[in-house]
Structure 1
């Protein structure tokens, strides 16, 4: 039962971190007084790099806990979707976001005239799927062990 508790705690910790950073901190930082696009992007890059690093660490802990606890397959499938979304975000979308933020940070006008990136929409869509998968996976873990 010890490993199952770790799996549940890790899942909901991961969920909380994503909700707090992606859906609260990220949009609000641009509404703060005197936060320019360049400052917001600079902070955002640091925050999301740290978030993604923490997510990878939580994924590793979760994988060990799942192997050791033999959870319901539905929970494993849902959490597998969350992991797949994370991998896609890091390997598939973040390089495009980095290229865009590099251009904005290098632009003397602060990126005002630069074309908007669609990569943010892709990242956000993947984030919504990941959050949904974590909710489903977390509750499936709880239901499967009760």
Structure 2
């Protein structure tokens, strides 16, 4: 889901004919709110399973890494992006945001951590 939405849908929607910045932002907010809700539910499920299953140190470390990245996105990065997109949706003309680059960096790190978690689980 992260790969499809963050690295395909998000940048491509702004290239579609007739999609304005405001329309793209509105769509993006809805899509990312849904993605983050699903990620949060799955994260809770993973934490419960890891806690109940007597996980190895490697699995525990990767799980913590994924959780820290997700919480960082939801608690720090997303609120800043939301405040900025509120201003754009209100009609302000703002320069390009570096906040999106921070979000992308978190997404890349999260994907790598999820891969690490998956590999560690499969190897164990």
8 A Cα contact 2:69 2:106, kept in partner: yes
Higher RCO (CA < 8 A, seq sep 6+) = 1
1:70 is paired with a residue whose SS is coil
Q: Offset of 1:84 from its aligned partner?
A: 0.5
Partners of 2:8 and 2:59 in 1: how far apart?
26
Per the normalisation by structure 1, the TM-score is 0.81
Q: Offset of 1:71 from its aligned partner?
A: 2.2
1:58 aligns with 2:38: no
1:87 aligns with 2:96: no
Structure 2 residue runs without a partner (length 5+): none
Between the two proteins, the alignment pairs up a number of residues equal to 124
Which structure 2 residues correspond to residues 1-146 of structure 1 after superposition, within 5 A?
17-107=1-91, 111=92, 113-144=93-124
Structure 1 residue runs without a partner (length 5+): 1-16
Partners of 1:73 and 1:31 in 2: how far apart?
44
Q: Offset of 1:143 from its aligned partner?
A: 0.5
Partners of 2:84 and 2:31 in 1: how far apart?
16
Partners of 2:6 and 2:66 in 1: how far apart?
15
The structure 1 segments of at least 4 consecutive aligned residues displaced by more than 2 Å after TM superposition are: none
Per the normalisation by structure 2, the TM-score is 0.95
Q: Deviations over 1:40-89 (max 9, x none)?
A: 00000011011111111001110111112222211221121111011000
Partners of 1:24 and 1:116 in 2: how far apart?
20
What CA RMSD, in Å, does the superposition of the two structures yield over aligned residues?
1.0
Partners of 1:140 and 1:39 in 2: how far apart?
41
Partners of 2:22 and 2:35 in 1: how far apart?
20
